[in-house]
Amino acid sequence: MSEFKYDQTDMHLRYEKSRILPEETMKLWLETLASYIPLSFVKTIIDLGCGTGRFTKGLSDQFSAKVYGIDSSWKMLSTANQSVISHLIKYIQGLAENIPLTDRTADLIFLSMVYHHIKNKSLAINEIARVLKKNGVLGIRTSTTDSLDSYLYLNFFPDARQINIEKLPSRKNIIEFLQSNRFVLKGHSIIHQITADNLQKYFEKISLRGLSDLSAISDDKFQDGLNSFKKYCDKHETGEPVYEDIDLFVFCVI
């Protein structure tokens, strides 16, 4: 599958609304991450592959820390910069394979739904190790092939499901790769997160086509799947939240 190029699309206009998380879900992620790391340890964070910055402010608030939001897409960063209200947050254009910061800058590097997009993981992990301070922490929030069955929308978009099967890592793959590259696993959690408050809101998020797998399929396949998904949501709406499983891996550099 070809690399998805965000700056050749209008994804930045749809991304924030399609990826927004309920407040309790965001709190769950930040508190789970913080449970692995002493708060006093973290002074500087890199939100690597920050997109429009949905985790950047939360990371800064959770750890009372300075945060560099780094992303390869200038369109994403332009959206992120519109909401900057803190002197502790700075957005910079850059790649995981070439982080534009000096050695030993960060206590924590956080990647949210980015790992599978990194083209050269070996080069990126060397850069992450370079930029982390001694005993620095790497947090990876990601979908894995192990959790695909928890994503309801994929039942209606088989081409998108196949893209994920081909591109997403397994839990075993992530752990083995990081442990063979100077990192030690501190913890792993499977977060059963509320993605939307009900089926209708879940449908609305999916309909924005703000996920890279949905943007990669044809317009006809997307519309066909969306029509079927709408019928399902209308029929099965109960007002209950919609959950998805996403993995959190926490590693320490050695």
Evaluate whether residue 24 is within a structural domain.
yes
pLDDT of 175 reads 98
Residues 159 and 201: their CA atoms lie apart, in Å, by: 23
Report the pLDDT averaged over residues 164-191: 98
Q: What is the mean pLDDT of residues 130-157?
A: 98
Residue 74 within a domain: yes
Q: Give the per-residue pLDDT at 15.
A: 55
Indicate the pTM of the whole model.
0.92
How high is the mean pLDDT of the chain? 93
Instruction: Convert the pLDDT of each residue in 51-65 to its tens digit.
Output: 999 999 999 999 999
- Domain presence at residue 132: yes
Q: State the Cα–Cα distance between residues 209 and 205, nearest whole angstrom.
A: 8
Indicate the burial class of 127 (C-beta count within 10 angstroms; 0-12, 13-18, 19 or more). buried
Confidence tier at 13 by pLDDT (50, 70, 90): low
Residue 158 lies in a domain: no
Tell whether 60 is covered by a domain.
yes
What is the residue range of 64's domain? 6-148+168-196+243-253
pLDDT of the residue at 11 = 52
* Overall domain count for the chain: 1
Q: What is the CATH number of the domain that holds 66?
A: 3.40.50.150
77 domain-assigned? yes
Residue 219 lies inside a defined structural domain of this protein: no
Residue 65: inside a domain: yes
- The 3-class SS string of 18-41 reads HHCCCHHHHHHHHHHHHCCCCHHH
